Structure 1
Amino acid sequence: MSAPKRVKRAISGWVILNKPYDMTSTQAVGKVRWLFGAAKAGHAGTLDPLATGILPIALGEATKAVPYVQDGTKIYRFAIAWGSSTTTDDTEGSVVATSEHRPSQAELEAVLPEFVGLFSQVPPIFSALKIDGERAYDLARAGEAVELAAREIRVDAISLVSHGSETTILEVTCGKGTYVRSLARDIAERLGTRGHVSMLHRAAVGPFTDTQSITIEMLEAVEGEARDALLRPVADSLAGLPELRLNPTQAAAVRHGNSVLLTGAGAPVTLDDAWASFGGQVLATGWVEFGQFQPRRVFN
Structure 2
Amino acid sequence: MARTRKGRDISGWLVVDKPAGITSTAVVNKVKWAFSAKKAGHAGTLDPEATGVLAVALGEATKTVPYITDAMKAYRFSVRLGQATNTDDTEGEVTDTSDARPTDDEIKAALGQFVGDIMQVPPKFSAVKIDGERAYKRARSDEDFEIAARPLYVEELLMAERPDADHVILEMTCGKGGYVRSIARDLGAALGCFGHVEWLRRVWSGPFDAEDGISMEKIEELAKTPEIDAHLLPLEEGLADLPEVKTTEGGAAKLRNGNPGMVIVSDVEYGDECWASLHGEAVAVGVYKAGELHPSRVFVRATQ
Task: Please indicate the TM-score interval, normalised by the length of the shorter structure.
Answer: over 0.9
Residue in structure 1 matched with residue 278 of structure 2 by the alignment:
278
The yes-or-no answer on 1:118 pairing with 2:114 is no
Q: 1:60–1:110: structure 2 CA closer, same or farther, 3 Å change rule?
A: same
CA offset at residue 211 of structure 1? 2.5
TM-score normalised to structure 2 length? 0.93
Residue in structure 2 matched with residue 3 of structure 1 by the alignment:
none
Q: 1:210–1:152: structure 2 CA closer, same or farther, 3 Å change rule?
A: same
The yes-or-no answer on 1:254 pairing with 2:255 is yes
Aligned partner of residue 229 in structure 1, secondary structure = helix
CA distance in 2, matches of 1:26, 1:88: 20
Q: Is the 8 A contact 1:89 1:182 kept in 2?
A: yes
Residue in structure 1 matched with residue 50 of structure 2 by the alignment:
51
Aligned partner of residue 232 in structure 2, secondary structure = coil
Supply the AA of the counterpart residue of 1:47.
Answer: L
CA distance in 2, matches of 1:78, 1:204: 13
Q: How do 1:115-264 and structure 2 match up within 5 A?
A: 115-163=114-162, 164-222=164-222, 223-263=224-264
Which deviations, in whole Å up to 9, do the C-alpha atoms of 1:32-79 show, x marking residues without a partner? 111111110111011100100111111100100000000100101110
Aligned partner of residue 148 in structure 2, secondary structure = coil
The yes-or-no answer on 1:86 pairing with 2:85 is yes
TM-score normalised to structure 1 length? 0.95
CA offset at residue 206 of structure 1? 1.3
Q: Is the 8 A contact 1:121 1:150 kept in 2?
A: yes
Residue in structure 2 matched with residue 107 of structure 1 by the alignment:
106
CA distance in 2, matches of 1:39, 1:28: 15
RMSD over aligned Cα, in angstroms?
A: 1.4
Q: 1:72–1:116: structure 2 CA closer, same or farther, 3 Å change rule?
A: same
Which deviations, in whole Å up to 9, do the C-alpha atoms of 1:62-104 show, x marking residues without a partner? 1000000001001011100011000000000001111101111
Unaligned runs of 5+ in 1: 1-5
Q: Is the 8 A contact 1:267 1:291 kept in 2?
A: no
Q: Number of residues paired by the alignment?
A: 294
CA distance in 2, matches of 1:297, 1:221: 34
| Deviates most, 52-61 or 269-278 | 269-278
Supply the AA of the counterpart residue of 2:97.
Answer: T
Give % identity: 48
Residue in structure 2 matched with residue 42 of structure 1 by the alignment:
41
CA offset at residue 197 of structure 1? 0.2
Structure 1: 4+ residue segments shifted above 6 A: none
